[in-house]
A and B are shown apart, each in its own frame.
Chain A
């Protein structure tokens, strides 16, 4: 077929099943946008490219397939980078397109030229710059393939303007071969057997489920395994929702702001079955005293994660779902059960003893109470996104989730300003679900301009602002570790979030009393438009428990 590069791009996207693009056009991407004008692909015009990247990421995480964003060259491209880095750290399949100055101008510091390939090399799984119109279909096919397979991650495709405008004979391949890219999906049978033997020998096993369980769709297998071997399950932030937190074997989240029961269980375990996790420092605390008594089975699709942060006694490289299925099959054949009753009883006692209190009636509001009301209000298929900081950790610690892809948070990069545009992306992905962003006032302000996007496009998400007029997490650290010297954390009196919401055409309401929370949530979700609830919370409320930085998980303090 003979067509222009821009036509080839849009046709390739259509063939990939792309339904929506979040983005902003600019000088170097006008040819692409001219073709999009006639296309069925929905384009959602965000108000900042960072919003577009996070929205594509939120879409991808809610749906489990690639989210697409687009920006022009130069500042458009650099504005995407925070979003790309966020997706990279959390293994999210985002495909980003950037306009670029025409090939003859590259390297001449042309207007709005930037070396986006160089800039994004360390924060993408891979990136491409189009060098000929004819290669466009193959490159885009590769981009989506790389983004969505193996350990997923963002891929960027840079589109010089002359490549969009030029014409060529193009062919659209059904499949692509990449010589140096062959992810391992099946676990090595010998390793699986070794893991099974270790499981049967253990008397105090703990399963640690990370984001990989969600990515590979292994929740069913995880549950089967846990019930089969009667092992308690803890999750990382990224793994939240991979195992129902309402399940009797669930101990909740572990880590710096994890549940005490989870941290204690990992510390006392004689076997840790870690699945799809990279052992982030926020999950492990000090590595030298992490799971000190445990043998470690580490199941991960990325071989480089094995032994990177935590030693693995029995590594199994492969896709979580397939490896768990193999493991369950082998365990069933062995027809023997480990004796874990006493251990399960012990962790259940911890779980009961340290079950957090949430029913506070205080004014100003306690975050626990708001989280409880939100939890009661939402169904299990509804989606929670978070910003970053105290608000995120309150949600992480208190807000129970039971299904995968219903808790979306920037775990690795910890990007303030992520939650709101991610909520927008999630809502576009799953319009039937209620979507709420658990926000802090500091984070929300970082991408508040997207209120225009959600209002214009009728993407009815709710932002719950936990408003303490502080960069709360930094303030908490300054309180605890820097002698209450509150350096540059006060956010002052502005803005009035209710009026800001209203000025954008969204619904806005403020809540000061616990009795008003539920009604406010109902009003917000029934408003027929995007909504902002400004929860005025106890300004110096901290997130506890906490493992102080550089300490062991067991040294968790109240």
Chain B
């Protein structure tokens, strides 16, 4: 059954490592929706989060092929139901009237967003959450006029004590 899988890869932080990962996904014809990267608790190790569409066979291939990359240290699949999935979005919204401004602030509050920039005719809202929440907020903002959206892509962490850690050498 085709579905979206959350894959986390811990990689050595070397020049070109993102290209190796993204190049591999392209060359093997895998479909990715989102890919993001950032530092971890271990110096020199970065964490790449990607969401891949496909059935179990595709998922297994993606993970095995990623594991073959020399600079990939560990690959895990996380179940989003047992994890915290978050994405951050910055949304620049037109606010042409005082009413509009007040409404946007209200919506941002309801969504636990933050107003991070205010100008005469626009505001920037920062919103964090899972994909549905971010999408819902963006939909609400459309009626005001969205000037720009920047999204980080998804990142994920398992709930409880389970970790995606580099095994001890």
Interface residues of A (CB under 8 A from B): 117-118, 121-122, 125-126, 129, 131, 146, 177-181, 302-304, 306-308
Contacts and interface: CB of A to CB of B under 8 A. Distances in A.
A118 B22 CA distance: 12
A126 B70 contact: yes
Interface stretch (B56-64, B80-88, B124-132): B56-64
Nearest to B75: A180
Contacts of A302: 68
Nearest to A131: B15
- A interface, by DSSP: helix, strand, loop or mixed? loop
A303 B66 CA distance: 11
Nearest to B44: A179
Contacts of B61: 304, 307-308
A307 B60 contact: yes
B164 interface: no
Interface in B3-53: 11-12, 15-16, 19-20, 23-24, 27
Contacts of B20: 121
B27 A122 contact: yes
Given A118-B19, A121-B16, A180 B70 contact: yes
A379 to B, nearest CB: 39
B65 A121 contact: no
Interface residues of B, number: 24
A118 B27 CA distance: 13
Contacts of A129: 15
A146 B60 CA distance: 23
A290 B67 CA distance: 28
Contacts of A304: 61, 64-65, 67-68
Contacts of B19: 118, 121
Contacts of B115: none
B23 A146 contact: no
Given A126-B71, A306-B64, 19 more contacts: A121-B16, A121-B19, A122-B24, A122-B27, A126-B70, A146-B70, A177-B169, A178-B70, A179-B12, A179-B73, A179-B169, A180-B11, A180-B69, A180-B72, A180-B73, A181-B70, A303-B67, A304-B67, A308-B61
Contacts of A177: 169
Nearest to B62: A304
A122 B72 CA distance: 15
A129 to B, nearest CB: 8
Contacts of A118: 16, 19
A294 B24 CA distance: 32
Contacts of B70: 125-126, 146, 178, 180-181
Contacts of B60: 307
